[in-house]
Structure 1
Amino acid sequence: MAILNTKQTLLELPHLKLIMDVSTRWNSTFNMLERFLEQQPAIEATLLSKDLKKNFKDVYTMSEDDISTASRVIEVLKPIKKVTTILCAEKSPTVSLIHPLKEMLLQQLRVIQDDDGNFVTAAKEAMIKDLEQRYTDHTMKLFLHESSCIDPRFKAMPYLDDAAKEEVYKSLAQKSEDVVNTIQMISKIKTEKMDDDEQPNLDPTPPLPSMSSSSTSALTNTEASDANSDDSATPCKKSKSALQDLFGEVFVTCVEPAVSLKTRIELELVNYKSTQNMPLDADPLLWWKQQELNFPLLSTLARRYLCIPATSVASERVFSTAGDLVSAQRSLLSSDQIDRLIFLKKNMV
């Protein structure tokens, strides 16, 4: 390592360690090859030094063809490195990116360059075969299409034909209707439960006191006389207000017919499809918050879709953070303190 540092200083290269490929770590092959090509002059100078040859009899170096192949492999793996980095984001929606990124990778990998060579061509074919087998289930594929459609950045879905797009929009309409009905049912159940809890426990109404026969006959005669007087009286008509008298025939109150839930959803989908696509670097969650009044039904559905993470990296990072916090020097931390520290670590700006 000391010899490598010396050569890096002489060649004015950054003092960086070499990276090893790890089968369980994403992009480690790309990182290893990229670091090797970056430090190639220092590595070759180190392998040719006399001090190293004293300790090692056989020193293997890469040929020009090997270095050229490594450069082409890096170009092939670079889009995959970008895709995995994007899908590992924690503070932006990622589930809507899965299918567009898959189609983009397949499109790029199917392009065969003249200088690819047998190794690079075989690597591309292997990656294409692996990607084509992923997300082939119809239910999963439809879900990914719906997630992309509900994202204003990818709602155009250029990788689908018209029939597939129509299927996605019909499925979204049905899902939106189901979500609204479920929310209304839950709200109704909660309201009924609250009414039952707030209703006071009243005692039964006490019985009325009994009346004598003379009092009953007197009351009957009184009611009969009141009825006769009411019949003889002239009924009074309810007078109109001044506004009703002046504008009653001009301003007639019209009640619009109620629009069904299915029709409202279809209207929102039509208006949503007519809106412009968002820039790729914009925040779809912020867009839906700003358009919530224009699309009240679809915005509810968007929150349910766009909150789903594309990978489990976020949860795995929490475990890694816990491993960094708990050590031999901090073994007396309680579980509550560890939870608070992890919360501050993951939520501090």
Structure 2
Amino acid sequence: MALANESTLSNSAKNTIKACVFSFEEHTLAEKLIKILQPFEKATTIVSAKKNPTLQKIMPIIIKIDNCMKTSDDDPDVIKKVKDVIRQQMAYRTSGDKELISMACVLNPFAKDLEFLSAEDRAFAHDLLLKQAGGVNIASINMIKKEPGTEDVLPHLTNLGIHDEDGKVISVEEDISLTLSPAKRICPAADMDEWLEDVLCTGETVKPREDVVFQEVARYLGSAHTDRQLTLLDWWKKNAQYFPRISGLARKYLAIPASSVPSERVFSLAGNLVNKKRARLSPNNIDLLVFLRKNMELYW
């Protein structure tokens, strides 16, 4: 405003400056609008990560932003309208592949209980995990061997996130005892004494595939994990041997980036390399330079 009162300025310049200067009410409103947009800045930073899985964070981020956009009685009418429009747009723009983000969430062992979701969405995600695990081919999974000196991370089982047809949560004991098919016992040992066969049958237990899958999902959903020092990838590396089918799903879904930012960064790097002064670079040399630049921090 001091500049607008400068005597050397023309009237048109003064009017232009005054029109561009915020009043006290407008300045207060702008501060509130900036505060509204801060969760989006934080969410953008989270989903733009390139070294950690991000897809499992999409659903919690959506819920977090939706909670931040709830109006209060103290909000001015303009702020209420802005928040309402944002919530409407968020609902429209996030109504995509529910199965994809649900699978990513349930494959996060530290949040697999999905307490931030409704009972209906929670049951949907857990049932989807059971269905997807049944379609995994164990032979196609490269199992990670247990490292010497590492401890088993299989705590006690609690109530499972498995639901019956009525949507009721079932516990390990009542569900497995009622659902699993009778096991077929065989004794392949050649030196088994026939007289002791009915007592010391050391053969294999053959179970239907559905029962084996159910037991694995039950162990995963019912286990309580207290070691919060592990990252998501470290946890799966350490426990993949216990959940062979689910770990295969984790590799499939958690490898999906939540945004295209990492690939866009590569395109920007290539654009900085190829310019007017370096227009004769061959495609092979461009690929090599991009590869070296992106991996420089890892190896040098």
Give your verdict on TM over 0.5: yes
**Residue of structure 1 in register with 2:94 after alignment:** 135
Which 10-residue stretch deviates more, 77-86 or 277-286?
277-286
Q: Distance in 2 between matches of 1:157 and 1:84?
A: 22
Per-residue deviation, 1:245: 11
Q: CA RMSD in A?
A: 3.1
Are residues 1:345 and 2:288 paired? Answer: no
Is 1:169 matched up with 2:126?
Answer: yes
Q: Please state if 1:96 is matched with 2:56.
A: yes
Q: CA deviation at 1:261?
A: 2.7
The letter for the 2-side match of 1:85 is T
Q: How is 1:70-219 mapped onto 2 (pairs within 5 angstroms)?
A: 70-112=30-72, 114=74, 116-136=75-95, 140-180=97-137, 183=140
Relative to 1, partners in 2 of residues 1:258 and 1:76: Cα closer, same or farther, differing over 3 Å? Answer: same
The alignment-based identity, stated in percent, is 29
- How far is 1:146 from its partner? 1.5
Match of residue 69 from structure 1: 29
Amino acid in the other structure paired with 1:180: N
Residue 182 (structure 2) aligns with: none
Residue 303 of structure 1 corresponds to which residue in structure 2? 251
Q: Secondary structure at the match of 2:258?
A: coil
Can you give the 5+ residue segments of structure 2 that lack an aligned partner in the other structure? 142-190
**1:238-253 equivalences in 2 (<5 Å):** 252=200
Give the letter aligned to residue 49 of structure 2.
A
Higher helix residue share = 1
Taking structure 1 as reference, are residues 48 and 130 closer, same or farther at Cα in structure 2, changes over 3 Å only? same
Q: Deviations over 1:181-230 (max 9, x none)?
A: 7949xxxxxxxxxxxxxxxxxxxxxxxxxxxxxxxxxxxxxxxxxxxxxx
String of CA shifts for 1:83-133, please: whole Å, max 9, x gaps: 01111111111111111111111112114251x312211110110111112
Please say if residues 55 and 258 of structure 2, whose CA atoms lie closer than 8 Å, have aligned partners that are also in contact: yes
Residues of 1 paired with 2:31 and 2:282: CA distance? 50
**Does the 8 A contact of 1:153 with 1:279 survive in 2?**
no
Q: Distance in 2 between matches of 1:56 and 1:277?
A: 66
Which residue type is aligned with residue 172 of structure 1? L
Give 1:334's match in structure 2, choosing from 282, 285, 291.
Answer: 282
What is the distance in 1 between the residues matched to 2:230 and 2:40?
22
Q: Secondary structure at the match of 1:59?
A: helix
> Alpha-carbon deviation of 1:165?
2.1
Is the 1:87–1:94 Cα contact (8 Å) retained in structure 2? yes
Aligned partners of 1:265 and 1:298 also within 8 Å: no
Q: SS where residue 320 of structure 1 aligns?
A: helix
Q: CA distance change for structure 1 residues 285 and 53 in 2, over 3 Å: closer, same or farther?
A: farther
TM-score, with structure 1 as normaliser: 0.62
Compared CA separation, residues 245 and 109, structure 1 to 2 (3 A) = closer
Give SS of 2:32's match: helix
| Counterparts in 2 of 1:146 and 1:67: CA distance versus 1, 3 Å | same
Letter in 1 for 2:136: V
Q: Find the residue that maps to 2:95 and give its secondary structure.
A: coil
Residue 255 of structure 1 aligns with which residue?
A: 203
TM-score, normalization by structure 2:
0.71
Relative to structure 2, which stretch is displaced further, 152-161 or 90-99?
Answer: 152-161
Q: Displacement, 1:63?
A: 0.7
Whole-Å separation in 2 of the counterparts to 1:287 and 1:94: 15
**What is the CA–CA distance in structure 2 between the aligned matches of 1:156 and 1:127, rounded to whole Å?**
29
Distance change >3 Å, CA 245–CA 82, structure 1 → 2 = closer
Cα gap change, 1:270 to 1:67, in 2 (>3 Å): same
Q: Structure 2 CA distance, aligned partners of 1:295 and 1:67?
A: 56
The question of whether the paired residues in 2 share the 8 Å contact of 1:180 and 1:297 is answered with yes
CA 1:181–1:281 in 2, change beyond 3 Å: closer, same or farther? Answer: closer
Paired amino acid for 2:32: R
Partner amino acid, structure 1, of 2:205: P
Contact 1:53 1:59 in 2 (8 A): no
- Equivalence for 2:232: 284
Aligned residue among 40, 59, 66 for 2:17: 59
The structure with the largest alpha-carbon Rg is: 1
Going from structure 1 to structure 2, the CA distance change for 1:126 and 1:253 (only over 3 Å counts) comes to same
Deviates more, 1:159-168 or 1:320-329: 159-168
